Structure 1
Amino acid sequence: MLLVISMEEGGDNLSALSVPLTEAMVLLSQGSGFKDGAIVLTITPLLLTMSVIALVASLGRRFGTSLRGLTSGLLFWELMNAFFAHAVNVELVDSIGLLLAKTAVVFLIGYAIAAVPQSAFIRERRDWLAQHISMPVRKTLVIGTVLGLLLLTCYLVAGAAAVVYWIVDNQTAIVKLYALSGMQTGSRILTTISALAWLPNLVVWAVSWLFGAGFSIGDLASFSLWSGQGSSLPALPLFGMLPSAVETDWIRITLLCVPLAVSFIAGMVVMLFNKGFRFRFKGADDDRDAKRVALRFAYPAGAFCISCAVVSLCASALFSISNGALGTKHLARVGVDVIASARKVGQPTAVGLFSSWLLMLVVMFLYFGTRLAVRRFREGKSGKSVSNSEEDNRESTGVARTVVSSINNKEEQGDNNLSTDTTGSGISLP
């Protein structure tokens, strides 16, 4: 890039600065910014950060992982970055101790990605958990963590789509800023490719913008769904793609409802599908089944709490590392308000998840309540018919007894009359 810019724009041979610039960018990708006069750059290019972590993980998989490999690799990594810190021709913002701490964190994350899946220690801990923690609890922990990461991924995809829309919608402004800077075609292309290193930062800011919190470029400009102006910004081509306000009310409402709708749909899928909690009411006939189903609602509630915690913590971390500075005064703080943005992401996620949980709970009560009411109605109706038949039997029995008693009385009266007539006739028998 420096060679092409030198050839097209003239002036000094900028390619001589390629090695110091590379060293400074390696340190910047690990969170250690630099300054040169009035220029201060502390916005970490997250795409380069992910590339460095992927490099460390790839080396770990290639050469194997062990405690000795971890120690020697970390030592070499720290010495390399300390050499870069003393070789750059710009002033570093962080002290050497803080710089080494940040680079150590990056190396440990990459090494852990390579080592953890193959670690015997992790397998032993997994077996221990399988023996001491019940299957439903383990399933709840896994579903809650995976669901939280999946929701966060969906939000980042929505942010990436918003960035693509910004680029397409504002390409005229980007081209105009390039023309004002006097760059030729080759310089424009390579500068654009270099700016892609900060593309994940823009995606994270777009998530905050989509959900209502917005972001700011220092004290010079702020961007949200309701406002967007960048007239006071420096003439950097990257600033030409920043969004304007959304004028249509229903579009703003739709964008604000994205985390609520996505989390609600995800919660319903987790509760109904076979790989989730698989709630089924059909075939539950008695009160014991109703109690068993009701107790099962504790597991998705726990999973949703874990998901909300994962989304909130990861979103807060992403918002924090995406921020930085471009200067010392008006551009000293570029990015999002971490607390406000995390709240705009976490609250609708929690509302959506627990709305799906509450809906399923209401459906359960309606289902078993209807079955109980129908069963009580049938029992009451059958009890009334039984009581009517018993009363009819008693009445018929009483009539029969009356008839039998009257017949017996008549027979007794006939026998008495016959004995009287026989004794009073005056006939003497031989």
Structure 2
Amino acid sequence: MIARLRTWGKGALEALLAMSIYAVTLGACMALMLLIISIEEGGPSLSIATVPLTETLILLTQGSGFTAGSLTLTIMPLLLTIGLLWLIKALVSWRGLSVGGCCLGTLTWMILNLVILQGTQTIQVDTTPVIILKAALVFLSGYALAVVTSKEFHTWWESTVQERIPAWLRRSVRLGLSWGAALVGLFLAAGLIALICWVVLYHGAVTKLFNMARMGPASSVVTTIASLVWLPTLVVWAYSWLMGDGFSIGELASFTLWSGHAKSLPSVPLFGLFPDPVADQGVRTLLLNIPLLAGLVLGLLLILGSRNHRLFTAVREHGVLSWTVISHFLQSTLSMVLAWMTCLIISWLGFLFSNGSLGTERLASVGVSVPASMKMIATSLGMGLMTSWVLAILSGSLLVLWKQVQSRIQMNGAMVNGLATWDGDAEEPAAGASSEDLTENRNQNQKQETDEEQSDHRNGSGSTSRRVASSGKKQNHPRTTRSTRSARSSSQKNQ
């Protein structure tokens, strides 16, 4: 009983440590930022707002927005959310895993968030039960990450699950999930590159907005650093922009590859980074075809790669029309479908968590249009994967056809060689001789040879003397003799 209570107590301790470390770190950064702004701008000290702002930001990290005057902010700072999940996962992995610890830790986390909620000086957008439920989901997500990455889970998976699942199915699922996640990573990397390009091209507009707000250099730097907590959100928006659908800032502005304007937006320095339309048609076409090209390359790697399903290796070892080749092709098709679904699911979650609001009316919907973006990504990526699949089918069909042509050529060559060998001992036909003449010449030659053998048998002594007399002469080749006889008979026939 005492051991069980200790195990449960570890869960409560994990939740308490995670909240303490996160709150203290975030509060220290917030106090430093407010202190720098107060020193540069003058006036009353802003440090007294450190605790309320820290509490509000803790709840915002877990998806609970707030309202302060005309501002309604529900866009999650995803960088802080990712850091909080990693902190919970690290503490749970360090202190240990248990079902009771998970339950008591979740309960402790909910109580701590309820205490924080009572101390905030802002109006929360969500109700109290919704806020507590979101907080519980955050802690459970961090605990789940710790469970999935633990040695106990891997041991259980290898001993229980893998024994009941065929090896080919495990391999296909593993390749599909890993390549789908790799695709999302590739698209997010492209979004990060696009965001860096925006910073390089439009940093002057951001500087102008800082000057319009009459912010000094130190305040501008601190505000820029604080804005990095929304860096993953901006990367996701840039990802959607590259795919063609773009993003919108409520009803005031929308940004795509074809259109983009920020004249109606509030004077927020971060809004100065948003891009103008791409003027070059070739560049737009290339950017729109990124998912298609990625799907094409992924499909070819899954089908033909040496570390994947190795279809060509199976063709060389087992032939084209073998069950092994067919099974490899079906497995690669399953992996492609899983990769496509994995990419879409992760993208959908990213778009969902990056959306929010900055107001109640025209700024109530900020971010990505999830249905439109998902449609464009699914269509383009699916076309790329389908193209690689069709290319594999065509390559296999051409290979089968080439094998059949080769076998037909070899059979014809063997037949020609056989006929040439069979006719090698026969007489060479005279020029212009017909088939009837050749048959008659053969019969005459056979009759002449028979008569010579009979005469030699009757005149044995004479033939012996003739053989002795001709032993010093060079013998003629049988084919030459037969050719000579054939030519002689043909000349007699013609005469």
| TM-score of the superposed pair, with normalisation by structure 1 | 0.89
- Structure 1's consecutive aligned runs of 4 or more residues displaced over 4 angstroms after TM superposition are 285-291, 387-402, 404-408
Equivalent residue number for residue 110 of structure 1: 142
Structure 1 window deviating more from structure 2 (377-386 vs 367-376): it is 377-386
- Correspondence for 2:129: 97
2:394 is matched with: 362
Q: 2: CA distance between counterparts of 1:198 and 1:73?
A: 28
Task: Work out the CA distance in 2 between the residues paired with 1:351 and 1:171.
Answer: 37
**Structure 1 unmatched runs, 5+:** 412-430
Distance 1:38 1:289, change over 3 A: same
Is residue 302–residue 336 contact of structure 2 (8 Å, CA) maintained in 1? Answer: no
SS of the aligned residue for 2:312 comes to: coil
The 2-side partners of 1:380 and 1:356 are apart by: 36
Structure 1 position 118, deviation (Å): 1.9
Which residue does 1:137 correspond to in 2?
169
Q: Which runs of 5+ in 2 are unaligned?
A: 1-32, 428-437, 455-495
Please state if 1:347 is matched with 2:375: no
Distance 1:252 1:12, change over 3 A: same
User: Cα distance 1:281–1:327, how it changes in 2: closer, same or farther (>3 A)?
Assistant: same
**Which residue identity lines up with residue 127 of structure 2 in the other structure?**
S
Question: Which piece of structure 1 moves more, 278-287 or 319-328?
Answer: 278-287
Higher RCO (CA-CA < 8 Å; seq separation 6+):
1
Question: What residue is the counterpart of 2:488 in the other structure?
Answer: none
1:192 partner amino acid: T
Cα distance change on mapping 1:161 and 1:291 into 2, 3 Å:
same
Cα pair 1:284 1:290 within 8 Å, conserved = no
Alignment match of 1:165 (pick from 188, 193, 197): 197
Q: How far did residue 334 of structure 1 move?
A: 0.3
Moved more, 239-248 or 366-375: 366-375
Corresponding residue for 1:424? none
2: distance between equivalents of 1:177 and 1:166? 15
- Superposition RMSD in Å: 2.7
Partner of 1:414: none
Contact 1:304 1:354 in 2 (8 A): no
**Equivalent in 248, 253, 265 of residue 216 of structure 1:** 248
Aligned match of 1:28 in 39, 60, 68? 60
Counterpart pick for 2:188 among 143, 156, 166: 156
Alignment partner of 1:15 is 2:47: yes
Instruction: Give, as a single letter, the amino acid of the residue that structure 1 aligns with 2:121.
Output: N
Cα distance in 2, alignment partners of residues 79 and 287 from structure 1: 65
1:300 alignment partner in structure 2: 332
How many residues are paired up? 413
Question: Among residues 93, 109, 113, which one is paired with 1:77 in the alignment?
Answer: 109
Aligned to 1:327: 359
Which secondary structure state, in structure 1, belongs to the residue aligned with residue 149 of structure 2?
helix
Matching residue within 281, 287, 290 for 1:258: 290
Note closer, same or farther for the CA distance 1:191–1:286 as it changes in structure 2 (3 Å cut).
closer
- Contact kept, 8 Å, 1:281 with 1:367, in 2: the verdict is no
Deviation string 1:205-253 (CA, Å, 9 cap, x unpaired) is 0011011001100010110111110101000100111111111111111
Alpha-carbon spacing, 1:394–1:72, altered in 2? closer, same or farther (3 Å): same
Q: Deviations over 1:41-76 (max 9, x none)?
A: 001111111011011011112212222321222122
CA pair 317-10 structure 1, distance change in 2 beyond 3 A: same
Deviations 1:267-304 (A, max 9, x none): 22233332211222587387675453233210110000
Q: Secondary structure at the match of 1:246?
A: coil
Alignment of 1:17-56 (within 5 A): 17-56=49-88
**Which of 250, 259, 270 is 2:302 aligned to?**
270
Output the CA distance in 2 between the equivalents of 1:314 and 1:72.
Answer: 30
Aligned match of 1:190: 222
| 1:12–1:125 Cα change, 3 Å | same
